[in-house]
Amino acid sequence: MAPVAADCPLCREDGGLLLARHGQFRVIRATGPDAEHFPGFYRVVWNAHVAEWSDLSEADQALCMRAVSAVERVVRQHLRPTKVNLAALGNVVPHLHWHVVARYDWDSHFPAPVWAAAQRGPDGARLAAVRAALPACDAAIAALRF
Amino acid sequence: MAPVAADCPLCREDGGLLLARHGQFRVIRATGPDAEHFPGFYRVVWNAHVAEWSDLSEADQALCMRAVSAVERVVRQHLRPTKVNLAALGNVVPHLHWHVVARYDWDSHFPAPVWAAAQRGPDGARLAAVRAALPACDAAIAALRF
């Protein structure tokens, strides 16, 4: 049985739009406030309640990182970002999850991280173009075989 | 030969205090402004000028991630952080480097990411205690065999 923490939102819920479910992890697309200015915001969430990356065995790290890398490749192919940002922070929700975020040189925060202060206002037309590409990107992630 | 970009600071310089050098990557401790409020701020820098994580082969990813994980374990053992933050962003310097940052629930930004706005002022005494533990942490990283 995977460890579960009663008060952990990532133990209770998928954490976003569920695209792929593996025995040990799932892939979601963020749908809350995070996605407003960063539509191509995906997460690989480890199913077990594990806080730190180095708590995983090397085999589990390899499995998880294959998923992160596969999601990144699909994001690059379908969303054509300037850069992909990867992060496992977990200060608020200490349940291992990798952020995989498509960044664009025109986005509201670039080149700062998505968690920093905005550098400029959102570009509605370009954001809409990214959003239009999400269904195909989501479908390609859902079709991944890990 | 590893690809090199003439205008890339991580191709020109180590990027911080060099602790370990491997044929394909190096481990440094950040010594600039990043370290002022986050003394336990390490980076695993891929030597070749590669922008995206998914540009690495699976074998190179495994090698790099073993290093990230080993650094994280040393940081946890020596610096006893509340949480370790991992990130590969590269929006400013698109040369693959992993941030490995010891975070504390009393630090100036916790639980926000280090790139976000400060939540409170720095705690000088606690920062000094972390800095006092850096030499042993650095030595343990320098002693890692990848």
Residue B42, in any domain of the structure = yes
Write out chain B residues lying below 8 Å of A65, CB-based. 61-62, 65
CB contact under 8 A, A61 and B65: yes
- A58: closest chain B residue by CA: B66
Q: Is residue A1 part of a domain?
A: no
A135 is in which domain, residue-wise? Answer: 9-141
Total count of domains within chain B: 1
Nearest to B115 among A69, A72, A115 (CB): A115
Structure tokens at B27: 């481990």
Residues of B in contact with A54 (CB under 8 A): 69-70, 72-73, 76, 84
End-to-end CA distance of chain B: 21
CATH number of the domain residue B80 falls in: 3.30.428.10
Question: Do the domain assignments include residue A120?
Answer: yes
> DSSP code of A111?
T
**pLDDT value for B34:** 84
- Minimum CA–CA partner of B67 in chain A: A54
Asked if residue A4 is part of any domain, the answer here is: no
The pLDDT tens digits for A4-35 are 888 999 999 999 999 999 999 999 999 988 89
> Per CB distance under 8 Å, which residues of B are interface residues toward A?
51-54, 58, 61-62, 65-66, 68-70, 72-73, 76, 82-92, 94, 103, 110-113, 115-117
Give domain status of residue B97, yes or no.
Answer: yes
Mean pLDDT (chain B, rounded): 96
pLDDT of residue A6: 83
DSSP A55: G
Q: Is B116 helix (H, G, I), strand (E, B) or coil?
A: coil
Tokens 């922008």: give the residue: B51
Residue B66 lies in a domain: yes
Digit-coded pLDDT (tens) for A36-84: 999 999 999 999 999 999 999 999 999 999 999 999 999 999 999 999 9
Residue A53 lies in a domain: yes
* Residue A90 falls inside a structural domain: yes
Tens-digit pLDDT profile for residues A114-138: 999 999 999 999 999 999 999 999 9
Judge if ipTM > 0.85.
yes
Q: DSSP per residue over B18-85, as a string?
A: EEEE-SSEEEEE--STHHHH-SSEEEEEESS----GGGS-HHHHHHHHHHHHHHHHHHHHHH--SEEE
pTM beyond cutoff 0.90: yes
CB nearest to B103's CB, from A73, A91, A111: A91
